[in-house]
Amino acid sequence: MNMAPEVPAILVLGPPLVFKAYESDFSQKFNFLKPWEKPIPLHQFISTHSSNVKAIFCSAVSPVTSEIIESLPELRFVLASSTGVNHIDLRECKRRGIVVANAGSTFSEDVADMAVGLLIDVLRRISAGNRLVKSGVWRREGDYPLAHKLSGKQVGIVGLGSIGLDIATRLKAMGCIISYTSRTMKPHVTFPFYPTIHQLVANCKILIISCALTEETRHMIDREVMLVLGKDGIIVNIARGAIINEKELIECLVKGEIGGAGLDVFENEPNFPQELFPLDNVVLTPHHGAVTEEACRDLYDHVCENLHAFLENKSLECEVDM
C-alpha cells in the first residue's frame, strides 16, 4: 500500500524483531521508512527523507545518536521496542523536546521468568546436568557436587521497577527473603530497602540486576561488591551488561571469589566473555530475556497504540521520564 508523501514517516532502525514478525500488518497501518532495504549508507538514507520523518521506531541494538537526531528537524518521537533506552541519546531528545517511549511492562513477566530460570539453573546445576546427561554419562548420587537450595536464600534486587517487582513476587513464593536497592524507596513496597548497593550486598547472598543502564549504574557492580557477596554468592543479570564491570566479574568467577553467575546480557554484545565458557557454575543466554512469541504479539499491539496515539496527538502509554 503506497502512502501519500504527506503521511508522517516513521523511520525504523534495527529493525526490531517485532517489526520483522509483523511487517505486513504494520505496513498497512503506518508509513514506515526501511533503510536496510536500500543499498545506501544510513546517513544518506536519512538525509533523503529528513524533512518527512516525524518518529523513529528502534531496537535496543540500534543507537539513536545526537547525529541522527540533529539530521531530522521534524523528529518529535522516539519509540523503543525495548524496556531499556540506553541506546537513545536522551539528553539530546530532552533538549530538542522529543518525546521518548519504551516497551513499558510488556516484557516484565518474561524477563522476570528468565531471571528466576537462570538463578535456579545456576543453583541447581540444570544446564550442567543436562550437558552431563547428554554427553552419555550417568553419575550416581554423590559422584557430582551437591547443588544449593533456593528457599530461604537472601536475595537482593537492584532496581525495583516492573521487572524487579515481578522477580520479587516469584522468588518470595519460592521462600526467598527479598530486599532491594533503587534510586528511591518505593512506596507501598514492604521489602526492606537499602539506599546503596553496598548496604544491599552486605545483606544478601544472591544479587539480581534489573535496573536501567545510566551514567550512575555503569559498572555499579564491581570487584568490591562481588567480594562482599562472597564465594557462595550468585549474580544474575537480565538488565544491561555494562551495569557489571565484566572484566572484574570474569576475574572473580575464574578465581572462585564468587559462587556463580547467570547472565543474559553482556558488556560488548555480540561478544561473550569466552573465559566463562568452561565454568559449570556460569549459565549464559544470548540476550533472550524478552524473546517470547507471546511478548512479541503484545509488543505489536503496544507499538501500534503508541504510534497511533502520537500521530493523533493523544497521550502516550509509556513515556520515558527524562
Query: Exactly one of 235, 296, 299, 303 binds its own copies (CB under 8 A); which one?
Result: 296
User: Which of 269, 275, 317, 319 is flagged as catalytic?
Assistant: 269
96 is catalytic: no
202 Cβ neighbours under 8 A, 6+ residues apart: 228
287 is catalytic: yes
Q: What is the C-alpha to C-alpha distance for residues 54 and 73, in angstroms, rounded to an integer? A: 9
Tell me phi and psi for residue 132, to 5 degrees.
Answer: -60, -50
The yes or no reply on residue 286 touching its own copies (CB under 8 A) is yes
Q: How far apart are the first and last CA of the chain?
A: 36
Nearer to its own copies, 20 or 43 (CB): 20
Shortest distance (Å) from residue 120 CB to its own copies = 3
Three-state SS at 284: strand
| C-alpha cell read off for 122 | 545456576
219 Cβ neighbours under 8 A, 6+ residues apart: 242, 243, 244, 245
The yes or no reply on residue 8 touching its own copies (CB under 8 A) is no
Query: Exactly one of 189, 254, 291, 316 binds its own copies (CB under 8 A); which one?
Result: 291
Please check whether residue 230 is in contact with residue 153, taking contact to mean a CB–CB distance below 8 angstroms: no
The yes or no reply on residue 246 touching its own copies (CB under 8 A) is no
131 is catalytic: no
Shortest distance (Å) from residue 185 CB to its own copies = 23
Q: By the criterion CB under 8 A, which residues form the site for its own copies?
A: 16-17, 20-21, 59, 61, 109-110, 113-114, 116-118, 120-121, 123-127, 129-134, 136, 138-142, 144, 146-152, 169-170, 172-175, 269-272, 274, 277, 283-288, 291-296
